[in-house]
Structure 1
């Protein structure tokens, strides 16, 4: 077999690889997660059949969050590993973990999360919808929460940007179409999260676009990974909000009050119209910045 034949993917169309991957990911999740939930959490098969979304949401808000996160991480690593190596026939390194992006855009992503959340929280406080009522400093809880957020960010970036968006970019000449599809899939993945509603789903879609806007230019995951990690950690364990409906030990004890349209309700800050506004503005700024930066770089290379 020639070298060229070895390098050709088993499925040539990127969109088809994504479709098969998503189906396989769901099947693998059912085969692994359901037996684990039944065994460890004591959830009955009847409950899963009758109320699958409510049952999974209950596990995420209860004492089994770590179980669900570890299962997500394991399934993501196995799925991406098998498909990248055996279906795409490429190395895992080609997903986008080159360290050259860490000092620049990686650091930018790290500070984007706290910056955007800080602006949103201040707007909520200024409008009278938020008050921080206490401080609860527990270093061990913060460290554990950081580990939890790192696992979530790493596994989701490997799946949605590293594998799905990477392959979609091969199928669609317009990179924005690929980004939009990946954003929809990212939002859909969180459909079982506790407290989700229509505005929260829209904000998750916008989050998927924000996390992927750098990747469509660089094919590097450090911006999205550090952005995702800092966003979740600063939002929950530091500022005291729910993280996509998940409740965690926090440093600041936040007390949202008033209109759920502003506070986000049980889903947390990510369900707020303020988050929508800040996310749209940030997406426009980042898109213009990266478009200008990489268009200029492309012109320099071709000059």
Structure 2
């Protein structure tokens, strides 16, 4: 039941916040303010519901080192999406026509902050963490990545390939980032950096949600497997490739740090072996 209560609490904040942001969308001041407020409230509610249901503080969102961890995540996300755009542009699929809209980018900043925080709290901070306790890291990574991809099927212009791409490049990568760092700040920063770079900087479609106008006025054209088509660059093979590469890097880091959780059967077997080794001979 703790999984249910935690999901309901954070989802309620996400729903109310999204409705508020949608109501003032286009306002260059209220949109980013409400988006950031939703993000902050979601973190606070997550911490509160974890304390109530698990009788412990939520170390995933501890304030110590939060700013630095978010910054690292944002840099990785922006750099990753920038690499995708550079490769698409090299093949003629992305063209900059001039400058875009600063106020549009500001509104997208708040919108993407709310989306990245609430989604990471639900999928990595609650679902991945609790499923991992019962099944181990690998199964939790596969299940939550699949669910994350399936959730995007409800987006406009989404299709099966878009959901598969999101499951691999985002669901797997963000879960691996959480496993490597054991905090939510890096995945939140990475998620935000990727989404804001896509919409607020390069003005591309995000997960099928329509063309946005950020800092650059740009157009995309070309083969769907290269540009992602109506779903946006997240449907590009370049995004899948870079997502898989980052997933491998994070999982190697998690293994080196001893953060990978084995399946319960393996844990019990390891415990028995350790117990037998302590018995007198």
Tell me if the contact between 2:180 and 2:251 (Cα under 8 Å) persists in the aligned partners.
Answer: no
Quick one: structure 1 residues 273 and 27, their matched pair in 2 at CA, closer, same or farther if it must change by over 3 Å?
closer
- The match for 2:164 is 202
C-alpha displacement at 1:119, in angstroms?
A: 1.3
C-alpha displacement at 1:97, in angstroms?
A: 2.9
Gaps of 5+ in 1: 1-10, 12-16, 41-58, 297-303
Tell me if the contact between 1:97 and 1:221 (Cα under 8 Å) persists in the aligned partners.
Answer: no
- The match for 2:271 is none
- The match for 1:240 is 203
Which aligned segments of 4 or more residues in structure 1 are displaced greater than 4 angstroms? 19-22, 24-29, 72-83
Tell me if the contact between 2:9 and 2:49 (Cα under 8 Å) persists in the aligned partners.
Answer: no
- The match for 1:260 is 224
- The match for 1:87 is 53
Aligned partners of 1:118, 1:227: CA distance in 2, in Å? 13
TM-score, length-scaled by structure 1:
0.69
- The match for 2:129 is 166
TM-score, length-scaled by structure 2:
0.74
Quick one: structure 1 residues 27 and 146, their matched pair in 2 at CA, closer, same or farther if it must change by over 3 Å?
closer
| Alignment RMSD (CA, Å) | 3.7
Quick one: structure 1 residues 199 and 26, their matched pair in 2 at CA, closer, same or farther if it must change by over 3 Å?
farther
Aligned partners of 1:90, 1:263: CA distance in 2, in Å? 45
C-alpha displacement at 1:20, in angstroms?
A: 6.9
State yes or no: 1:100 paired with 2:65. Answer: yes
Aligned partners of 2:167, 2:41: CA distance in 1, in Å? 22
Tell me if the contact between 2:77 and 2:190 (Cα under 8 Å) persists in the aligned partners.
Answer: yes
Aligned partners of 1:121, 1:282: CA distance in 2, in Å? 16
Counting matched residue pairs gives 252
State yes or no: 1:185 paired with 2:147. Answer: yes
